[in-house]
Structure 1
Amino acid sequence: MKYLKKTLRWFGPSFGVSLRDIKELGVEGVVTACHQVPIGEVWSSETIRSVKKDIEDNGLEWSVVESVNIHKAIKYGLPERDIFVKNYIETLRNLAENNIKVVCYNFMQLIDWTRTHLNYVLPTGAISLLYDPVAIAAFDLYILQRDRAAEVYGDEMVHKAGKYYNALDQQGRKLLKSAILAGMPGSKVAIPLSDFKATLEEVSKIEKPVLRENLAYFLKAVIPEAEKLGIRMALHPDDPPFPVFGIPRIASTYEDLQYILDCIPSPSNGLTFCSGSLGAVASNDLLKIIRDFGPKIHFLHLRNVSREEDGRFYEAAHLDGSLPMAKIMLEVVKEQKRRKDCGLGEVAIPIRPDHGHVLLDDKKRKDEFYSGYSLIGRGIGMAELYGLEKGIREMFL
Structure 2
Amino acid sequence: MRHTWRWFGPIDKVSVRDAAQAGAQGIVSALHHVPTGTAWTAHEIARRQAEVRAGGLEWELVESIPVSESIKTQTGAWRAHIIAWQESLRRLAEAGIFTVCYNFMPVLDWTRTDLRWEAADGARAMRFDLVDFVAFDLFLLARPGAAQDYPAALFDEARGRFLAFSDVKKAALARNIGAGLPGSSDGYSLAELREALARYAAIDANRLRKNLKDFLAEVVPVAEELGMRLCAHGDDPPWPLLGLPRILSTEADYRDMLDGVDSPANGVTFCTGSLGARPDNDLPAIAKRLASRIHFVHLRNVRRETDGFPCSFFEDRHLEGGTDMVAVIAALLAEERRRKAEGRVDHQIFMRPDHGQEILDDLTRGAQPGYPAIGRLKGLAELRGIEHTLSHPAFGVA
TM-score (norm 2): 0.96
Q: Give 1:188 deviation, angstroms.
A: 4.8
Contact 1:25/1:379, CA 8 A, preserved across alignment: yes
Classify the secondary structure of the residue corresponding to 1:195.
Answer: helix
Q: Render the CA deviation track for 1:45-92: whole Å, top value 9, x for unaligned.
A: 111011011112322111110000001111011153111111100010
Q: Render the CA deviation track for 1:269-321: whole Å, top value 9, x for unaligned.
A: 00101000001001111112111111111011000011122511111000011
Provide the residue aligned with 1:336 in structure 2.
336
Q: 1:222 to 1:188 in 2, by over 3 A?
A: closer
Determine what percentage of the aligned residue pairs are the same residue: 41
CA distance, structure 1, for counterparts of residue 208 and residue 241 of structure 2: 15
2:106 equivalent to 1:109:
yes
Provide the residue aligned with 1:121 in structure 2.
118
Runs of at least 5 residues in structure 2 that lack an aligned partner in the other structure: none
Provide the residue aligned with 1:276 in structure 2.
273
Alignment of 1:139-178 (within 5 A): 139-178=136-175
Q: Render the CA deviation track for 1:85-123: whole Å, top value 9, x for unaligned.
A: 111000100000001000000000021110111121111
Aligned length: 392
2:323 equivalent to 1:326:
no
Q: Give 1:193 deviation, angstroms.
A: 1.9
2:315 equivalent to 1:315:
yes
2:291 equivalent to 1:294:
yes
Identify the range of structure 1 (317-326 vs 53-62) with the bigger mean alpha-carbon deviation: 53-62
Q: 1:145 to 1:240 in 2, by over 3 A?
A: same
Letter of the 2:130 partner, please give it: P
2:377 equivalent to 1:373:
no
Identify the range of structure 1 (131-140 vs 270-279) with the bigger mean alpha-carbon deviation: 131-140
Letter of the 2:253 partner, please give it: D
CA RMSD of aligned residues (A): 1.3
Q: 1:106 to 1:32 in 2, by over 3 A?
A: same
Classify the secondary structure of the residue corresponding to 2:157.
Answer: helix
Provide the residue aligned with 1:213 in structure 2.
210
Classify the secondary structure of the residue corresponding to 2:391.
Answer: helix
Structure 1 residue ranges (4+ consecutive) displaced by more than 3 angstroms after TM superposition: none
Q: Render the CA deviation track for 1:5-49: whole Å, top value 9, x for unaligned.
A: 111100011121112211221211000001110001000011101
TM-score (norm 1): 0.96
Provide the residue aligned with 1:389 in structure 2.
387
Contact 1:10/1:19, CA 8 A, preserved across alignment: yes
Q: Give 1:157 deviation, angstroms.
A: 2.1
CA distance, structure 2, for counterparts of residue 57 and residue 17 of structure 1: 14
Q: Give 1:370 deviation, angstroms.
A: 1.6
Contact 2:23/2:380, CA 8 A, preserved across alignment: no
Identify the range of structure 1 (159-168 vs 250-259) with the bigger mean alpha-carbon deviation: 159-168
Contact 1:110/1:203, CA 8 A, preserved across alignment: no
Indicate which of 55, 60, 67 corresponds to 1:58.
55
CA distance, structure 2, for counterparts of residue 195 and residue 343 of structure 1: 51
Contact 2:268/2:293, CA 8 A, preserved across alignment: yes
Runs of at least 5 residues in structure 1 that lack an aligned partner in the other structure: none
CA distance, structure 2, for counterparts of residue 22 and residue 309 of structure 1: 35
Q: Give 1:247 deviation, angstroms.
A: 1.4
